Amino acid sequence: MLAGLELGNIPNDDIQFVIDLGLCKMHPYGGLTIANPIYREVLPRVLTVTPMASLPMIAPTWLTPEGELNIDALLTAFLKFWRQQVEPLLSSAGYHEIAPHIVLMAFLHRVVNGGGVLEREYAIGSDRMDLCLQYKNV
């Protein structure tokens, strides 16, 4: 669901359970959605706790001397991080189908801790999760 994938073979009782807990709801046009904006923020954060705790110290090489976000440097830093850390982080993720998403979000949470916002939008059945990183003027 977080990765925008179809739910697949999920028992009806499990779906009803997350609805009964109030975590998810049935969308008026069909499909299961996360129930509210707070849960849209909290659920991915809970899933990224272990990968975030596993991250080594990362120097913010993606910032200019003025403290602005340098997109090219951010992409370079993420690719370097991905190549060095992907195996242990993916193996520690409990949900292998969304593990790459969780690793990316854990990395981006490190970026936004310096003064940014990470917004997410889930599109079930579209095979994607949209992320929007806002950092100062970028």
User: Would you give the distance in Å from CA 14 to the centre of its chain?
Assistant: 22
In a domain, 2, yes or no: no
Residue 88 predicted with pLDDT over 90: no
In a domain, 55, yes or no: yes
Domain count, the chain: 1
> How far is the C-alpha of 10 from the C-alpha of 26, rounded, in Å?
15
> How far is the C-alpha of 33 from the C-alpha of 26, rounded, in Å?
6
The confidence score (pLDDT) of residue 80 equals 87
pTM of the model: 0.56
User: Would you give the distance in Å from CA 90 to the centre of its chain?
Assistant: 14
Per residue in 23-41, pLDDT (tens digit) is 888 888 877 888 888 888 7
- The boundaries of the domain holding residue 36 are 12-135
In a domain, 7, yes or no: no
In a domain, 51, yes or no: yes
Kindly indicate the confidence band of residue 90, based on its pLDDT and cuts at 50, 70 and 90: low
HEC secondary structure over 60-98 = CCCECCCCCECHHHHHHHHHHHHHHHHHHHHHHCCCHHH
Q: State both tokens at 43.
A: 């659920």
Per residue in 58-69, pLDDT (tens digit) is 778 888 898 888
> How far is the C-alpha of 126 from the C-alpha of 116, rounded, in Å?
27
H-assigned helices in 1-66: 12-21, 37-47, 49-54
Q: Could you tell me which of 106, 101, 99 has the C-alpha nearest to residue 123?
A: 101
